[in-house]
């Protein structure tokens, strides 16, 4: 991640990215009025309800029942038109990864370029009529809540953790109580940053759409699982651990704390000194969360790519996919450059030669390029075109029609 800018950002209410990361990120909420006017009117409520009926979309319909609306029900996708008939007064529709279906919405990720791509989760859209809500709760991820249509009242409360009391016998993890110390209504264009573990409660004041730009971190169990897979394929890590510090046991049935500490230390040393850890992490964080959202690409070859170039098409990263890179020191000190880039996509290593690395780095960083301008971007056009064809056929990159790439 590059050094955060010290320039004031409108999306952050005039503070810099560096100040936000130092003072707010995972520490306290931030409310910004009219932070992102571009999102206002980008979608109408009917757009989201129609998208939720797509069989490939991940969505949830949440309804409240009972005399006091205290009993919640959740209907997971696939949803059908009949699910929206005879609904109770209070209900909410959550549609995940809407950025995978809208290039215009996906472009708004660039407003948060002070947070790296690999931390992105997706952009969820919440539709609700007046009174609709998903209850008092907390999450383990960072979220920027953008109001796109209508108004939603947000209350923020106490910090929570795994031991925080939740209501029993409910399909959602709802808080038993919330101590409110923030109470504001967001209008279209307003932003509210909510850090992980901070309790929050949003209620639609009228028919409204709220866009949740989520950022996640992998958990320790996921990392251990992936490292275990990497180590299972290596002869070195399948070799029994060294036991050359053996001393006389106090009793043959006991394993001492010293021995447990030595085992733990050798495991930690193996993780630190084995390149398999980095590979395991890169594989995990480069996987697409919703791989089923990646469109089945039409297989093309170099000739077809040239035809698209002649027609003015561009290329960009497929919104449902991830293309990540890391910087490696060059093992051969007699060659230049002294460092090289290693690319990962779809949970796998994606080999990119040195001549094409700068172009693919720019694509991973969110830039777009016209195909007919590629000769200006690479020293070895033929090799680069072959890599682009492979990336297009693998769903890593996508073609952009001329009017969209301008």
Tens of pLDDT, residues 321-341: 999 999 997 765 555 556 799
Tens of pLDDT, residues 279-289: 999 999 999 99
Read off the tokens for 253.
Answer: 């049935």
Task: State the pLDDT at residue 116.
Answer: 94
Which residue spans of the chain are classified as CATH 3.40.366.30?
Answer: 291-400
- What confidence tier does 2 reach under pLDDT thresholds 50, 70, 90? very low
**Owner of token pair 């590629």:** 374
- Whether the Cβ atoms of residue 350 and residue 282 lie closer than 8 Å to each other: no
Task: State the pLDDT at residue 241.
Answer: 81
Read off the tokens for 203.
Answer: 């209620």
Which residue spans of the chain are classified as CATH 2.60.120.650?
Answer: 8-215
- Whether the Cβ atoms of residue 109 and residue 149 lie closer than 8 Å to each other: no
323 strand-pairing partners: 345
Q: What's the CATH class of domain 8-215?
A: mainly beta
- Whether the Cβ atoms of residue 41 and residue 33 lie closer than 8 Å to each other: no
Tens of pLDDT, residues 337-386: 567 999 999 999 999 999 999 999 999 999 999 999 887 777 678 899 99
Identify the H or E element spanning 273: helix 257-273
Length of the chain: 406
pLDDT, mean of residues 302-312: 94
Task: State the pLDDT at residue 4.
Answer: 60
Read off the tokens for 298.
Answer: 């039409």
- Whether the Cβ atoms of residue 324 and residue 343 lie closer than 8 Å to each other: yes
Task: State the pLDDT at residue 36.
Answer: 98
Share of the chain above pLDDT 90, in %: 77
Task: State the pLDDT at residue 338.
Answer: 66
**Check whether domain 291-400 has CATH 3.40.366.30, yes or no:** yes
């Amino acid at each position: 991640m590059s050094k955060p800018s010290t320039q004031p950002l409108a999306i952050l209410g005039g503070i810099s990215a560096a100040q936000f990361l130092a003072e707010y990120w995972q520490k306290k909420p931030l409310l910004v009025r009219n932070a992102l006017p571009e999102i206002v009117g980008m979608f109408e409520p009917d757009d989201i309800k129609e998208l939720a009926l797509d069989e490939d979309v991940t969505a949830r319909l949440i309804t409240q029942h009972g005399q006091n609306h205290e009993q919640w029900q959740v209907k997971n996708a696939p949803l059908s038109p009949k699910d929206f008939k005879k609904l109770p007064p209070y209900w909410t529709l959550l549609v995940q990864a809407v950025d995978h279906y809208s290039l215009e919405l996906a472009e708004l990720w660039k407003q948060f370029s002070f947070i790296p791509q690999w931390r992105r989760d997706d952009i969820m859209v919440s539709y609700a009529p007046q009174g609709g809500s998903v209850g008092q709760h907390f999450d383990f991820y960072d979220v920027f809540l953008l109001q796109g249509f209508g108004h939603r009242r947000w209350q923020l409360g106490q910090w929570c953790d795994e031991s925080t009391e939740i209501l029993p016998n409910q399909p959602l993890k709802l808080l038993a109580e919330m101590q409110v110390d923030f109470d504001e209504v967001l209008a279209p264009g307003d932003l509210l940053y909510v850090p992980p573990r901070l309790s929050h409660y949003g209620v639609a004041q009228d028919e409204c759409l709220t866009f949740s730009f989520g950022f996640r971190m992998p958990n320790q169990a996921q990392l251990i699982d992936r490292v275990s897979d990497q180590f299972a394929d290596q002869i070195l890590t399948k070799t029994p651990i060294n036991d050359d510090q053996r001393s006389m046991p106090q009793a043959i049935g006991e394993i001492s704390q010293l021995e447990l500490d030595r085992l733990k230390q050798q495991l930690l040393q193996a993780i630190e000194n084995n390149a398999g850890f980095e590979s395991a992490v890169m594989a995990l964080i480069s996987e697409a969360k919703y791989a089923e959202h990646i469109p089945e690409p039409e297989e093309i070859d170099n000739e077809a790519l040239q035809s698209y170039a002649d027609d003015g098409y561009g290329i960009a990263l497929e919104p449902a996919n991830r293309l990540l890179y890391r910087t490696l020191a060059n093992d051969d000190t007699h060659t230049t450059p002294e460092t090289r880039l290693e690319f990962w996509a779809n949970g796998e290593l994606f080999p990119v030669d040195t001549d094409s690395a700068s172009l693919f780095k720019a694509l991973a960083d969110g830039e777009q390029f016209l195909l007919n301008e590629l000769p200006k971007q690479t020293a070895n056009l033929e090799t680069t075109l072959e890599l682009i064809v492979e990336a297009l056929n693998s769903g890593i990159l996508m073609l952009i029609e001329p009017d969209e790439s301008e």
